[in-house]
Amino acid sequence: MMLRNVWAVIRREYIQRVRTKSFVFGTIAVPLIMVLLIAVPIVIAGRSQDDERHIVVVDRTGVLQGRLGPELEELGWTVEPEPWTPDVEVRLRLRADDGEILGFLMLDDETLEEGVATFQTTVRPTPVRSLTMRSAITRAAMDYRLTESGSAASMLSGGELRIELLSDAPGADPDEEGPQFAVAYMGAMILYMVILIYSVAVMRATLEEKTSRIVEVIVSSMKPWHLLLGKVIGVGAVSLTQLSIWILAASLALAAGVPTLMSARPDLTALVDVQAALPSVGMLALFACFFILGFFMYSGIYAAVGAMCNTDEEANQAQFPVVMLLVGPILMVMPIIQDPSATWAIALSLFPLFSPILMWARVAAGGVPAWQIGLSFVLMALAIVAIAWVAGRIYRVGILMTGKRPTLPELWRWVRAA
């Protein structure tokens, strides 16, 4: 009987929601918007610097210019070689300040040894442009080392391009422009939005049934907690369906779109590095686990909020403290990404209601022991049981109650009475 009742509610919630225009529109529109947000800035950024590609290469080694120059020109740069003199940096700085050149690239013995070079410029290059230049420098140095000595082990990690601005040009910290940062930050934001949207959907569905008095008919044929469980699982299944479609669409876009974009713009070959840094299947599975556990925690809370309110206005006021439990972690995402191993970051990420967002940010940023991830799962599971115990009792009494919104002492009496 219980399974049949719960399944009936799950089926109703799922079919009713996936057939709505908002679900269809959101499922299709979000991947398209994400593609536009990623592709359009890359193309525009590349075109915006089409007329600002004149750079000077100063090769103190005397062996890299011949290898590096042609490759940079193939990537769209206009390369001007300049011999080393003691005052070369001063002269080139003046030319850069006058707008004659975009900047100048300094190659020295460190470039030969470790693939490290310095590009002094008046305008911060885009992340993709920095990656293409760094890759070209590394390949040129590696080619020389392999040709001369057959050893280039110190540069297999990819080398480094140090950006030194000649003026106070605006721009983000280069350390925050990497794919790892984007995965951590965007993943946390997606978790926040999806958990909030679908938890609120549980509250709205509960409030709608309560205000229309349909719930009185429903609970006459099943227990209130059967209804609550079916509603939470049904809405959760809808959210997982939509997330799965988004992830599949993103995967297909990257698989097909990156090669197409690179063929149209050869200077964007470093997108291969970005593509390789995207989440693996294991990370996506971890992301899904954080979402499921987070959704069950907050959907239980929101169901209780919907059961104890009688109007939309009351529900909007009552959910404010719950929203703060989700907004708080979002405000801490950036500091945690910058220092994921700090004691305070570990403590906050292990707090169950914060774990879905903050633990994901720490995991994506790197350096989180497996035991901390496992502990966060255990704590979230215990929190789900506790929330279900309290929310189920509030739901059981509140779903049939009308009148003013209950106070905290009254809620406690509901829990005890149920």
* Angle in degrees, CA 57, 62, 63, rounded to 5: 95
| pLDDT at residue 176, rounded to an integer | 43
Element spanning 230, H or E? helix 224-264
DSSP 240: H
Segment-wise mean pLDDT, segments of 10 residues, the chain, 418 residues: 79 86 84 72 54 81 86 84 89 88 88 85 78 86 75 52 57 48 83 89 82 70 78 86 83 65 52 57 87 91 85 84 90 88 91 94 85 94 89 77 70 69
Beta carbons within 8 Å of 215's beta carbon, 6+ residues apart: 209, 227, 399, 400
116: closest CA among 70, 78, 154?
A: 154
Q: According to CATH, where is 3.40.1710 located in the chain?
A: 51-173
78-82 and 54-59 as β-strands: parallel, antiparallel, unpaired? parallel
Type of residue at 416: R
Q: What is the pTM of this model?
A: 0.62
Element spanning 292, H or E? helix 281-308
Burial of 148 (0-12, 13-18, 19+ CB in 10 A): exposed
| pLDDT at residue 378, rounded to an integer | 95
Compute the CA torsion angle 409, 410, 415, 418 (nearest 10 deg): 150
What CA–CA distances, in Å, run from 219 to 15, 227, 263, 299, 402?
A: 21, 8, 61, 20, 16
Burial of 298 (0-12, 13-18, 19+ CB in 10 A): buried
Number of Cβ within a 10 Å radius of residue 312: 12
Burial of 122 (0-12, 13-18, 19+ CB in 10 A): middle
Q: How far apart are CA 347 and CA 349, in angstroms?
A: 6
Type of residue at 216: E
Sign of CA dihedral 309, 314, 318, 323: positive
What percent of the chain is helix, strand and coil (3-state, nearest 5)?
A: 70, 5, 20
Question: Tokens representing 143?
Answer: 């080619």
Residue ranges in 49-103 assigned as alpha helix (H):
65-74, 88-97
Place of tokens 């269809």: 24
CATH architecture classification, 51-173: 3-Layer(aba) Sandwich (3.40)
DSSP 346: H
